[in-house]
Amino acid sequence: MIRFGIIGAGAIAHAFSKACLDSQFPLQGIASRDIERAKAFQKQYGFREVYDNYESLYLDPLVDAIYVATPHGLHYEHMLAILKHKKHIICEKSFTLNAKQAKHIFEVAKAQNVFVMEAMWTRFLPLTRTVLAKVQQGVIGQITSLKVDFAFASQPSDASRLFNPSLGGGALLDVGIYPITYANLFLGKPDKIVSKAKLTSALVDGTIDLEYLYPNKKACLHGSIIEEGGKDAYIYGDLGYIKVPFFWGAHEAFIYDLKHQLIEHIHIPHKSNGYEYEIEAFIEAIENKTFRTPYMNVEDTLSILEQMDTIRKQIGVVYPNEI
Ligand SMILES: NC(=O)c1ccc[n+]([C@@H]2O[C@H](COP(=O)([O-])OP(=O)(O)OC[C@H]3O[C@@H](n4cnc5c(N)ncnc54)[C@H](OP(=O)(O)O)[C@@H]3O)[C@@H](O)[C@H]2O)c1
């Protein structure tokens, strides 16, 4: 069984640890810059070891794979350091700041013969897979458009990773990546992207609006970390439509006909908190030695990052630490 280590004892590390605990995936070590935070994780989730720095976790011979739960502006340097120790990596989204960094990480991983995967949990959810299958079966006919929103209001602050350019702040990499992922899942790569943004005083995007244009179809995608807004996905077809509330971690969806009559309510409760599916797939890809999962691979990560590079060029957001 793959034994996990985690770097960064923040919000998402809790969710990952809970999924591992519920699923009985071994939690070998937790590393935090603050040993008291690491000890609190140990108490709550049963990690065997605690470390007050990340490097010591990399040196633990009983750690097989490391979950990178630090802000996305640090993912590149943290993954490069981990790869020197030949550990497998499951890294939070956004995988890196840009496609160039990601390409380099995947090259090094190949040379070291380890598996590296972006933790885009939405792709692995049984609900996502079921909705995709329903669309492919034609329950709403041909897709005509998509409307996908992930927005919330938070107060800009220098202390928050969300607004800090050095940590990869901004709506696009934090929340915009989910509507973009949905557009790619249901419609593929767009022919053209039109982007608009509201920038914060630190010159990261507080709000992002995207038009993804395809032949005869389009997707309207919205993300915000400064303004309250929608949290649902709508997939419209010529015979009906599907609403997926809180689509990024969804456990239910509603299928309607064109008269807004409910045709089907799909409900698939998570076994734990929804993160268990990406972790299961990650473990399987290592154990079966393919280093491939059914739903998230190198080309998916690179394609999404290339699209986000294009968008950032259009809106003029540049990070100080990107190569
Ligand atoms: N998949 C999802 O549903 C989901 C949800 C939320 C976030 N995320 C992703 O997960 C990553 C972390 O997000 P989060 O919400 O967990 O953030 P967070 O609560 O701020 O935690 C990030 C952790 O990174 C560590 N860190 C190391 N260097 C840091 C620095 N210079 N500044 C700030 N923190 C630093 C800190 O842990 P120590 O001090 O303990 O070392 C901190 O607690 C992001 O890439 C984000 O996009 C994914």
What is the per-residue pLDDT across 110-148, written as a single tens digit (0 to 9) for each?
Answer: 999 999 999 999 999 999 999 999 999 999 999 999 999
Handedness of CA 306, 9, 275, 171 (dihedral sign): negative
Distance CA 78, CA 109 (A): 13
Q: Is the peptide bond before 94 cis (omega within 30 degrees of 0)?
A: yes
- Quick one: 115 and 133 in the same domain? no
Helix/strand/coil for 260: coil
Q: Which atom of ligand 1 is nearest to the CA of 38?
A: 40
Domain end: 74, 105, 121, which one? Answer: 121
Residue that terminates a domain, selected from 121, 150, 165:
121
123 lines ligand 1 (CB under 6 A): no
3-state secondary structure 37-105: HHHHHHHHHCCCEEECCHHHHHCCCCCCEEEECCCHHHHHHHHHHHHCCCCEEEEECCCCCCHHHHHHH
Report if residue 278 sits inside a domain: no
CA of 133 relative to ligand 1 center, distance in Å: 33
Probe residue for ligand 1, chosen from 70, 121, 152, 160 as the CB with the greatest number of ligand atoms within 8 Å: 70
Give pLDDT, residue 323: 66
Cα angle, residue 268 at apex, residues 263 and 274 outer, rounded to 5°: 140
Q: What are 245-254's pLDDT values in tens digits?
A: 999 999 999 9
Verify that 155 and 259 share a domain, yes or no: yes
Residue 218 DSSP label: E
Question: Same structural domain for residues 134 and 246?
Answer: yes
Spell out the SS3 assignment of 185-215: HHHCCCCEEEEEEEECCCCCEEEEEEEEEEC
C-alpha 186/C-alpha 218 separation (Å) is: 11
pTM above 0.85, yes or no: yes
Taking alpha carbons only, the member of 270, 276, 264, 273 closest to residue 133 is: 264
For residues 111 and 20, membership in a common domain is answered with: yes
Give the three-class secondary structure for 106. Answer: helix
Decide: 121 in ligand 1 pocket, CB within 6 A.
yes
CA of 41 to the centre of ligand 1 (A): 14
Same domain? For 253 and 153 the reply is yes
Which CATH number does the domain housing residue 81 bear?
3.40.50.720
Out of 87, 93, 134, 147, the active site residue is 93
130 and 218 fall within a common domain: yes
Q: Is 189 a catalytic residue?
A: no
289 belongs to a structural domain: no
Classify 237 as helix, strand or coil: strand
Looking at the fold, whether 61 and 142 belong to one and the same domain comes out as no
Does 135 lie in the same domain as 264? yes
In a domain, 59, yes or no: yes
pLDDT digits (tens, 9 = 90+) for 83-110: 999 999 999 999 999 999 999 999 999 9
pLDDT beneath 70: ranges in the chain: 323
Q: What is the widest separation between alpha-carbon atoms in the chain?
A: 60
Q: Is the CB of 5 under 6 A from ligand 1?
A: no
Residues spanned by the domain of 62: 4-121
Q: Identify the CATH number of the domain in which residue 195 sits.
A: 3.30.360.10
Residues 132 and 238 in one domain: yes
282 within some domain: no
The single residue listed with the structure tokens 């097989």 is 64
d(CA 241, CA 238): 8
Contact indicator for 97, 319 with CB cutoff of 8 Å: yes
Q: Indicate the residue among 121, 156, 177 that finishes a domain.
A: 121
CA distances from 281 to 20, 116, 153 (A): 13, 12, 33
Whether 110 and 229 map to the same domain: the answer is no
> Would 316 be classed as within a structural domain?
no
| 294 within some domain | no
The answer to whether 209 and 195 are in contact (CB under 8 A) is: yes
Q: Residue 247: inside a domain, yes or no?
A: yes
Residues 149 and 95 in one domain: no
Same domain for 130 and 265, yes or no, is yes
Residue 50 in tokens: 């605690």
Task: Specify the number of domains making up the chain.
Answer: 2
Task: Answer whether residue 28 is part of any domain.
Answer: yes
